[in-house]
Amino acid sequence: MKKIFLRFKNRLSVTFGLLILESIGELLFPLVIGFAIDDLLNKSYEGLFQLSILGFFTILIGAVRRLIDSRFYGYIFVNLGTELAKSQSKLSPSKKSAQLSLLNEIVEFLENSMPSLFTYVVGLFGTMFILFKLNLPVAIGCLISSFITLGVYIATSSKTTRLNSGWNDEFEKRVDVMTKNNDAETVQHLQRFMKWNIRLSDLETVNYSLAWLTAIGLLVFTVMTTSIESIEYGAIFSVVMYVYQFIEGYTEVPLHYQEWLRLREISSRINISLAQNKG
């Protein structure tokens, strides 16, 4: 995927620039909502006006980015798909079809998952910065929780890659199996395919559950700490919302990380295929 980023860096810089602005807007929502609550309690509407302006520009930037993204990533798929198809003259129809499907998964990840991942990462760092200003104990709690979750996913990354490799191997055999029209072989193929799928799902379930156990502990700690240390309702709301936003980020980012491991394996598979055809 690194080659895709380098090749289309000019177009990507535009969409990621808009994504940064959109992420900053979303990051500021809990803080501005907190200001609006406190202003309303003091009979002022200034906070509501600020919230309306923030919401309008965040939506506008997001809409422009999505209009650009759908066209840009379609352009990437057509260009790379055409090149891949031309280089696959020596491959079996099964591998041709499978690798075009896998290429489509990479492009879909860039269009759909990458913006979410980028937003979560920006949100994590931005939230940590704001929380260190608002409530130091809660910020330290977030930091500890994120390291625990990160450790769980790093510890299982090699197993994730191995399972994805087995899944992709079986996926590439699908067209060949189906063209044989042998019921017994088809059943065996589908059973092997689902075996890899179940093992991946089980690993993801364990990791995700551990991450959320840590998250619930952090949320309980946050509510207890903020209710003791703060008397401003808006401040309490902002801190709790930022922690929930942080939890959403550090439980979702690892899932995208697992998806990235799978697509990295796909990228190496396609690169190997291209190299073999050139040879």
| 234 burial via Cβ count (<10 Å: 0-12, 13-18, 19+) | buried
Q: What is the rounded CA–CA span in Å between residue 159 and residue 258? A: 10
Residues 6 or more apart whose Cβ sits within 8 Å of residue 35: 47, 50, 51, 234
We report the CATH number of the domain holding residue 235 as 1.20.1560.10
Its domain, for residue 119, covers 2-278
How many domains does the chain fold into?
1
SS3 readout for the chain: CHHHHHHCHHHHHHHHHHHHHHHHHHHHHHHHHHHHHHHHHCCCCHHHHHHHHHHHHHHHHHHHHHHHHHHHHHHHHHHHHHHHHHCCCCCCHHHHHHHHHHHHHHHHHHHHHHHHHHHHHHHHHHHHHHHHHHCHHHHHHHHHHHHHHHHHHHHCHHHHHHHHHHHHHHHHCHHHHHHHCCHHHHHHHHHHHHHHHHHHHHHHHHHHHHHHHHHHHHHHHHHHHHHHHCCCHHHHHHHHHHHHHHHHHHHHHHHHHHHHHHHHHHHHHHHHHHHHHHC
What digits encode the pLDDT tens for the residues 68-85? 887 887 777 777 777 666
CB 149 within 8 A of CB 251: yes
Q: What is the pLDDT of residue 274?
A: 47
AA letter at 196: W
pTM of this prediction? 0.60
Q: What is the rounded CA–CA span in Å between residue 181 and residue 162? A: 30
Print burial letters for 251-273: b (CB count within 10 Å at least 16), e (below 16). bbbbbbbbbbbbbebbbebbeeb
Extract the residue ranges of the chain whose pLDDT is less than 50: 272, 274-275, 278-279
Q: What is the pLDDT of residue 231?
A: 54
